[in-house]
Amino acid sequence: MRALDVAPSIHLATAIPGPRTRELAARAQSSVAHPVAPSGETPFIVRGRGALVEDVDGNRLLDFIGGLGCLMVGHAHPAVVDAVAEHSRRFLHTDYAVIPYEEYQTLAELIAGRFGGGRKVAFFNSGAEAVENAVKVARAMTGRPGIVCFEGAFHGRTNLALALTHREDPYKKGFGPFVPEIYRLPYPGFGGATMDGFEKAAAAVFGEHQIAAAIVEPELGEGGYVVPPREFLPRLERIVDDHGSLLIADEIQAGYGRAGAFLASSLSGVTPDLVTLGKPIAAGLPLSAVVGPPELMDPLKFSALGGTYPGNPVALAAGIAVLSVVEEEGLIERATQIGERLTSFWQAVASEHRGLITDIRGLGSMVGVEFADREALGRLRSAALSAGVLTVTAGAEAKVLRHLMPLVMTDDQLDEAFQVFSWAAGTAAGAG
C-alpha cells in the first residue's frame, strides 16, 4: 500500500491476523461454544483508546465497529474509566430495588432532562431486556395483547425480542415457538416496501387486532441501515394514536446522538410513548433503559419490573460520565459532521468505481454503504483489515458497510481511514 500522507494512528507490526491472534482463536475452539467463538480473522485486543485498538501482536488499528455501537465516547475514555474505578472501590452491586443508591436516580434525571422532562426511567441490562420491558409496560397499560413490528427489524435475541426480530437465519431458526400476537408490517424502504404497502397492511392489522403498541427503529440498524421516508414515522404515530395504541421507538442503536440528534425519532418530528435505549449509554458496560411518561411508567406494582442486576451502580457511574462527555465534547454535533464526511467520501468512491456501490444513506453518522454484492464488500473489508481498519456489515445479505465508529474519532483518523478505504475499494473493484 502507498505511504499514508497523514500522521499515522495505524501501526502494523505483523500481518493481520497476527500469530498470537491465530493461536488464541485456535485455542478458543476447544473451550468456547462455536456460536460465540471468534473466527480468527479479527485480532484479539489488549487495549483501546478513543478510536484505536491495540491487538495481541502489537498492531494498532482504527475501529469502525466501536463495540457494535456501544463506544460513542471511544475506548477507555478517561472520564468513564475514572468514574468506573472510583465507583468500583466503593461498591459493585446491591440491586437498587433492595438497597438503593443515588446514581440510579442521577442518571434517570439526566436522561429525563434530555427528553425535556416529564419522563420516568427504568434501567435494565441489555437492549433485548429493555425491549421486553417496554412491551410488558405497553401490554399492561393498554390491556391489549398485540404488538406490531416491522420487516428488517432487529430487537434482540431473547424469546420475545426474537419474536419481534425479523431475520430467520441465524437468529430465529430452530428457536421457536415464539410468543403469539406479534404482527409484522412492511418497513418502507426495506426490501422494496412502499408507504402504500405499509398503509394497507397497517389498516388490516390495526383494524382486526387488539394492538397494544408498534415498536419501530427510526433507522434500521442490523437490518441494513435503511432510512424510511420522512413521512413514515409521523404516519405510524397517527395510526397508533387513532387506534389507542402506543408507539415504542427502539433507539438502542440510533439513539443517544449517533443519528445526529439525541433521539433519532425526533428527526421525523414524532414523540414516542416509550423509548428503549441501550448500547452507548454506559460505554460498553451492560446498561439499557425504558423511558416513558409517568402515566405509563408508574402504575405497575413495585417489583413488577426489575431483576437482580438492572441498573448496576458501576454501569450507572459510567453512564453519568458518558452523558457529560457527550455534552462536553459535542458528540451529537460531531455525529452530523462525521456523517457528512463519510457520505461525501463514499460518493467520491462510488463515482470512481462505477457499479461497486449501489446506495449511500443514513442519519447523522449512521451511514450505510450498500455494495453491489456481498463478495465486493467482503473484498473491501479484508483489504481494509489488512491495512489496519476494522469494519462491520449490516443486512441479511451482508452487503451494507455500516459505520459504528466512536464519535471521538479525529479528522486525521478519518482521513487515514479514507486513504485505507480508497485503496481497499480499488482492490474490491479489481483495480487495486
Window 240-259: contact mask with ligand PLP (x via CB under 6 A): ----------x-xx------
Q: Rg for the chain (alpha carbons), in Å?
A: 22
Read off the C-alpha cell for 322.
458518558
Output the smallest distance, CB 156 to ligand PLP, in A: 3
Output the smallest distance, CB 372 to ligand PLP, in A: 25
Output the smallest distance, CB 423 to ligand PLP, in A: 30
Q: Which is nearer to ligand PLP, 18 or 152 (CB)?
A: 152
Interacting span for ligand PLP (CB under 6 A) from 40-48, 88-96, 120-128, 314-322: 120-128
- 149-208: which residues touch ligand PLP (CB under 6 A)? 154-156
Output the smallest distance, CB 147 to ligand PLP, in A: 14
Q: Which is nearer to ligand PLP, 278 or 292 (CB)?
A: 278
264 binds ligand PLP (CB under 6 A): no
280 binds ligand PLP (CB under 6 A): no
133 binds ligand PLP (CB under 6 A): no
- 141-160: which residues touch ligand PLP (CB under 6 A)? 154-156
- The answer to whether the CB of 162 falls within 8 A of the CB of 156 is yes
- The answer to whether the CB of 155 falls within 8 A of the CB of 161 is yes
Neighbours of 64 (CB within 10 A): 22
Type of residue at 420: V
| Size of interface with ligand PLP, in residues (CB under 6 A) | 14
- The answer to whether the CB of 279 falls within 8 A of the CB of 258 is no
Separation CA 256–CA 324 (nearest Å): 12
221 binds ligand PLP (CB under 6 A): yes
Separation CA 371–CA 36 (nearest Å): 27
70: nearest Cα among 262, 350, 288, 381: 288
Question: Cα angle at 299 between 296 and 303, to 5 degrees?
Answer: 110
3-state secondary structure of 178: coil
Separation CA 399–CA 153 (nearest Å): 17
**Can you tell me which of 9, 21, 126, 142 binds ligand PLP, judged by CB under 6 A?**
126
**Can you tell me which of 151, 217, 219, 237 binds ligand PLP, judged by CB under 6 A?**
217
Output the smallest distance, CB 126 to ligand PLP, in A: 4
Q: Which residues touch 402 (CB under 8 Å, ≥6 apart)?
A: 221, 225, 366, 367, 368, 392, 393, 394
Read off the C-alpha cell for 280.
452507548
Q: Which is nearer to ligand PLP, 149 or 205 (CB)?
A: 149
Interacting span for ligand PLP (CB under 6 A) from 125-133, 171-179, 365-373, 383-391: 125-133
Output the smallest distance, CB 99 to ligand PLP, in A: 26
Buried b / exposed e across 377-400, counting CB within 10 Å, b at 16+?
Answer: bebbbbbbbbbbbbbbbbbbebbb
What is the binding site for ligand PLP (CB under 6 A)? Answer: 126-128, 131, 154-156, 217, 221-222, 250, 252-253, 278
